């Protein structure tokens, strides 16, 4: 019985693990819903990756973008061309000015004195040149007088020679005394001496005429070297007087004003800047690895931090820089010395903006931009292969000053040539307007050598004088 009692628990113990083993079979088969969820997630990830790859190949691979882009523009410095003391400042920071507006005015007293001296020298040079031309007629008259003297002296010599010839045969017969014959010989010698003196005077007169003609031949009074030299001094003094008014060369806004009232300025010192906000562009600094497909003419979309994503600018690539930014840095990298670490370089790319969009949403120089270039079309050139046409920037505000200087020179020349008295010219009114000498207008005599050039020059004086700005005097 004991053996049976002991065997029963052993058999029960052997049969006890059978129930857990039977229940573990369903756990190995797993949860079908979970498997489906994992498979679904995996499929979605694969589909997303494939979709992104296709999107990258079809879209993203055709664009290059950078946020290392900044607005650039022409910052025109206002610098004096002559020295002087500042007596007026007509513009300040942020002011908008038009081209030709006077921004700074210097003391014009010294320039006025220099111009008056130059005008007086020009007037004197014109009158001295007129004397040279008039002397031609004087020397011609002197030559005529000397030639008449020579003819008279030759007549006297011939008459004295006849007297000697008549008396010579009579001396031997005693019909004519020796004293009378000697007297006839003395008269012949005196006549010959007078003839030599007359011929020398005629030669001297011809030489004087030739010498004077060498100073006047082939040129009119207006083109005489002495007149041209004095005229150049008048232009110089006139321009110096006009340049005491510092004018804006372009339309724009004032920035970086440093000039102060009463300051003594020297030529070339920057006083302020004029920034033309209507002519801006963007310099986008792309990495060198991004430039493989960048070409001139490709379209660009840009966003400015100042406006955010609600404003999008459109532009085109105008050109790529001729070197990296570090190559033109103040202290360029010395890669051949010391330990070398490769640094990705950036090349500036110039992007032109749409003027209409720029007018609707103005930008400022130095603002940050985000640029995105469509590089799908790679047919354009990498580097510019033609010069820019037309001129990138130009100003005509100084042309009127140059024309005024020419008109002032013509006015002075005309007044001192006697043209002011002619009804066909406008010299009297010009001289009265500009303060010309009243005494010069009464002169009516001019040398014959300048008759041929007077009418065209007078007409030019009228046209040029009409361009003289009243503020220049």
**Dihedral angle, C-alpha 56, 59, 61, 67, nearest 10 °:** -110
Pairing of strands 368-374, 63-78: antiparallel
Q: pLDDT band for 326, please (50, 70, 90 cuts).
A: confident
Cite the beta strand spans of 266-421 per DSSP E.
272-287, 299-304, 313-320, 346-353, 368-374
Structural domain contains residue 200: yes
Q: Please give the average per-residue pLDDT across 141-169, as a whole number.
A: 81
| pLDDT the model gives residue 115 | 95
Give the residue from 355, 329, 364, 357 showing the smallest Cα distance to 343.
Answer: 329
Structural domain contains residue 65: no
Residue 337 in this model has a pLDDT that exceeds 80: no
Give the residue from 311, 366, 365, 373 showing the smallest Cα distance to 347.
Answer: 373
Q: Please give the average per-residue pLDDT across 165-173, as a whole number.
A: 70
Weakest-pLDDT range from 67-71, 168-172, 393-397 = 168-172
From residue 274, alpha-carbon distances to 98, 254, 362, 399, 457 in Å are 10, 5, 16, 20, 40
| pLDDT the model gives residue 261 | 94
User: pLDDT for 295-319, tens place per residue?
Assistant: 999 999 999 999 999 999 999 999 9
Determine phi and psi for 307, rounding to 5 degrees: -110, -20
Structural domain contains residue 231: no
Determine phi and psi for 283, rounding to 5 degrees: -105, 105
Q: Which among 45-49, 168-172, 269-273, 292-296 has the top mean pLDDT?
A: 269-273
Q: Please give the average per-residue pLDDT across 391-418, as a whole number.
A: 85
| pLDDT the model gives residue 264 | 95
Structural domain contains residue 78: no
| pLDDT the model gives residue 447 | 42
Residue 325: partners with Cβ closer than 8 Å, 6 or more residues away: 285, 345, 346, 347, 348
Q: Please give the average per-residue pLDDT across 351-364, as a whole number.
A: 94
| pLDDT the model gives residue 385 | 79
Q: Residues 150, 154, 155, CA angle at the centre, nearest 5°? A: 120
Q: Please give the average per-residue pLDDT across 444-466, as a whole number.
A: 36
d(CA 142, CA 136): 10
Pairing of strands 96-97, 245-247: unpaired
Average pLDDT, the chain: 79
The rounded radius of gyration (Å) of the Cα atoms in the chain is 50
Q: For a pLDDT cut of 70, what percent of the chain falls above it?
A: 78
Q: pLDDT band for 454, please (50, 70, 90 cuts).
A: very low
Please tell me the total count of domains within the chain.
Answer: 1
Structural domain contains residue 246: no
User: pLDDT for 20-37, tens place per residue?
Assistant: 444 444 545 567 888 888
CB 367 within 8 A of CB 70: yes
| pLDDT the model gives residue 172 | 67
Structural domain contains residue 154: yes
Give the residue from 337, 108, 144 showing the smallest Cα distance to 240.
Answer: 108
Sign, CA torsion 292/298/299/304: positive
Residue 381 in this model has a pLDDT that exceeds 80: yes
Residue 253: partners with Cβ closer than 8 Å, 6 or more residues away: 94, 95, 96, 97, 274, 275, 277
Sheet of 264-265: strand order equals 245-247, 102-106, 84-89, 264-265
Q: Please give the average per-residue pLDDT across 215-220, as a whole number.
A: 82
Domain that holds residue 142: 127-220
Sign, CA torsion 310/311/317/322: negative
| pLDDT the model gives residue 112 | 95
Cα 394 to its chain centre, rounded Å, is 7
Structural domain contains residue 194: yes
Cite the beta strand spans of 111-257 per DSSP E.
245-247, 252-255
| pLDDT the model gives residue 58 | 65
Q: Please give the average per-residue pLDDT across 84-94, as a whole number.
A: 95
Q: pLDDT band for 12, please (50, 70, 90 cuts).
A: very low
d(CA 206, CA 136): 10
Is residue 352 classed as helix, strand or coil in its secondary structure?
Answer: strand
| pLDDT the model gives residue 60 | 60
Structural domain contains residue 140: yes
Residue 194 in this model has a pLDDT that exceeds 90: no
Q: Please give the average per-residue pLDDT across 272-281, as a whole number.
A: 94
């Amino acid at each position: 019985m004991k053996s049976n009692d002991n065997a029963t628990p052993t058999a029960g113990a052997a049969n006890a693990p059978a129930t857990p083993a039977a229940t573990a079979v369903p756990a190995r088969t797993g949860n079908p819903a979970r498997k489906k969820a994992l498979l679904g997630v995996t499929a979605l990830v694969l589909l997303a990756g494939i979709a992104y790859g296709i999107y990258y190949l079809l879209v993203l691979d055709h664009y290059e973008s950078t946020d290392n882009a900044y607005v650039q523009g022409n910052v025109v410095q206002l610098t004096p061309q002559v020295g002087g003391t500042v007596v007026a400042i007509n513009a300040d920071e942020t002011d908008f000015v038009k081209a030709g507006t006077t921004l700074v005015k210097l003391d014009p007293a010294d320039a006025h004195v220099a111009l008056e001296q130059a005008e007086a020298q020009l007037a004197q040079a014109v009158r001295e040149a007129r004397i040279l031309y008039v002397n031609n007629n004087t020397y011609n008259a002197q030559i005529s007088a000397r030639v008449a003297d020579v003819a008279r002296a030759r007549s006297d010599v011939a008459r004295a020679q006849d007297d000697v010839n008549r008396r010579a045969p009579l001396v031997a017969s005693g019909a004519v005394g020796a004293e009378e014959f000697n007297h006839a010989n003395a008269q012949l010698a005196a006549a010959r001496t007078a003839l030599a003196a007359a011929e020398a005077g005629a030669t001297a007169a011809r030489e004087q005429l030739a010498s004077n003609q060498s100073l006047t031949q082939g040129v009119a009074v207006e083109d005489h070297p002495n007149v041209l030299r004095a005229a150049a001094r008048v232009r110089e003094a006139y321009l110096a007087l006009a340049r005491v008014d510092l004018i804006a060369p372009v339309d724009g806004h004032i920035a970086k004003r440093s000039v102060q009232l009463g300051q003594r300025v020297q030529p070339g010192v920057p006083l302020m800047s004029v920034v033309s906000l209507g002519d801006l562009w963007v310099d986008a600094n792309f990495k060198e690895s991004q430039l493989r497909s960048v070409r001139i003419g490709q379209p660009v979309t840009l966003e400015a931090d100042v406006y955010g994503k609600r404003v999008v600018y459109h532009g085109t690539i105008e050109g790529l820089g001729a070197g990296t930014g570090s190559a033109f840095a103040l202290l360029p990298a010395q890669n051949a010395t010391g330990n070398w670490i490769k640094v990705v370089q950036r090349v500036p790319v110039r992007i032109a903006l749409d003027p209409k969009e720029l007018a609707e949403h103005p930008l400022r120089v130095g603002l940050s931009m985000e640029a995105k270039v469509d590089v799908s079309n790679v047919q354009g050139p990498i580097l510019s292969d033609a010069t820019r046409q037309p001129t990138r920037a130009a100003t005509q505000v100084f042309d009127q000053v140059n024309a005024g200087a020419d008109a002032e020179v013509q006015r002075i020349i005309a007044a001192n040539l006697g043209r002011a008295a002619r009804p066909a010219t406008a010299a009297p009114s010009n001289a009265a307007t500009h303060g010309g000498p009243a005494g010069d207008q009464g002169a009516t005599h001019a040398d014959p050598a300048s008759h041929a050039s007077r009418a065209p020059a007078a007409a030019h004086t009228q046209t040029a004088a009409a361009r003289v700005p009243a503020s220049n005097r």
